[in-house]
Structure 1
């Protein structure tokens, strides 16, 4: 049986390490590539960058920012996407309070204090409270942010701050869709994922226990198993 082409899209300030467990354990059933969400400053440009390098047809999974880019990809080229997985993501447009917070982070970057953002401001919201004591996990998150760097972060902030509301497009998504969220995700809460599930006719919903926003790293086995089933392997 031939392998499925699978494109994985990281979230803000994340890289391929966010998908390490999935890449290692799904390689027998999928040819996996990690899409670039660091080089452009709009979701549409990010989507076009991914599409330009992706196979003619592929399955697509994105987490957080990656999920937003995935929604833009399936909007632009639905005929190329075999399956869609939206993890810990938000289909709505930006809120004023979010823009205020992002402006604060932009100021920190401009003051040369980029390294403070993930460690001191974001981390408590990215993982389940019980996982904040997992040094291996938190160190990996901080190291990813440093690797992505301040310039790419500013581009990513611009992309999320200028995004559209994708909810009017959800009903037209034609492919089998997995919607997955951590039960304790406070960044993109369960309610958003239930709303997506209600509006995407071909969707299934998975809620992962003891899990915050970075589900692929916090509960890697549960996420990998969900993606394996989504890919058609039980």
Structure 2
């Protein structure tokens, strides 16, 4: 495809695959080169970012959700000159609280012992807004988790547990930055998005009503509109 528009690289979150961004990627593919990275193959954020950079065009716009945001910050540390603009969906720059880190370690231990069922019915309400619990959205979430699988989950969870603190990275971000968060996100709440917004100069913050942790699936049209506006900013 011949285009002068900047390429777009999209990073999924924990237990997500290309289906997370499929709607937006398909809509934008007629306007620019679009890549959705596979973040299930490495067990460190550093290695994930290195693989993204190996496969990405020389310069690109970078959109990321949740764990993908942790990778995006590492991409900026490794090769800031290659990133033209940044979109951060439902992620955070700070490290986990002690309680959350303990929960992650517990889930990792269960998976290592063979107890991996993807996204459990108990976890689903923490991922998506209640209105999507019995819908194609929840089915897609479970299908993605099964596709990533136990070994992919173990690698990703290890990477998240040992990720670096990205708060010091925020002040150095000088590209057009969009920050999006679901108003009802229980995993990376609005307070974390506001903290990033305060520390990234000139960033734009959008809080989506009746939306949980996965706006590209829960609010696909609004997410697409925000991405289009950001790409043209």
Q: TM-score, normalised by structure 2?
A: 0.95
| Pairing 1:8–2:10 present | yes
Assess if the C-alpha contact under 8 Å between 1:65 and 1:89 holds in 2.
yes
For the residue of structure 1 that corresponds to 2:206, the secondary structure is strand
| Pairing 1:145–2:150 present | no
Aligned to 1:196: 196
In the alignment, the residues of structure 2 paired with residue 111 and residue 43 of structure 1 have an alpha-carbon distance, to the nearest angstrom, of 23
Q: After the TM superposition, which residues 55-70 of structure 1 pair with which residues of structure 2 at under 5 Å, given as runs?
A: 55-70=57-72
Aligned to 1:107: 109
In the alignment, the residues of structure 2 paired with residue 107 and residue 72 of structure 1 have an alpha-carbon distance, to the nearest angstrom, of 26
Q: After the TM superposition, which residues 1-234 of structure 1 pair with which residues of structure 2 at under 5 Å, given as runs?
A: 2-115=4-117, 117-134=118-135, 136-232=136-232
Q: TM-score, normalised by structure 1?
A: 0.95
Assess if the C-alpha contact under 8 Å between 2:108 and 2:158 holds in 1.
no
Which string of whole-angstrom CA distances, capped at 9 and with x for unpartnered residues, describes residues 82-121 of structure 1? Answer: 0100100010112221222122212332343211x41234
Which string of whole-angstrom CA distances, capped at 9 and with x for unpartnered residues, describes residues 100-149 of structure 1? Answer: 2122212332343211x412342111001221122x11111101000001
For the residue of structure 2 that corresponds to 1:8, the secondary structure is strand
Assess if the C-alpha contact under 8 Å between 2:126 and 2:187 holds in 1.
yes
Assess if the C-alpha contact under 8 Å between 1:10 and 1:19 holds in 2.
yes
Larger helix percent: 1
Bigger Cα displacement from structure 2, 1-10 vs 66-75? 1-10
Which string of whole-angstrom CA distances, capped at 9 and with x for unpartnered residues, describes residues 2-61 of structure 1? Answer: 232000000000000000110111112221001121111111111011001110000000
Runs of 4+ in 1 over 3 A off after TM superposition: none
Gaps of 5+ in 1: none
In the alignment, the residues of structure 2 paired with residue 205 and residue 212 of structure 1 have an alpha-carbon distance, to the nearest angstrom, of 16
Assess if the C-alpha contact under 8 Å between 2:24 and 2:224 holds in 1.
yes
Q: How well do the aligned residues superpose, as a CA RMSD in angstroms?
A: 1.3
In the alignment, the residues of structure 1 paired with residue 218 and residue 80 of structure 2 have an alpha-carbon distance, to the nearest angstrom, of 30
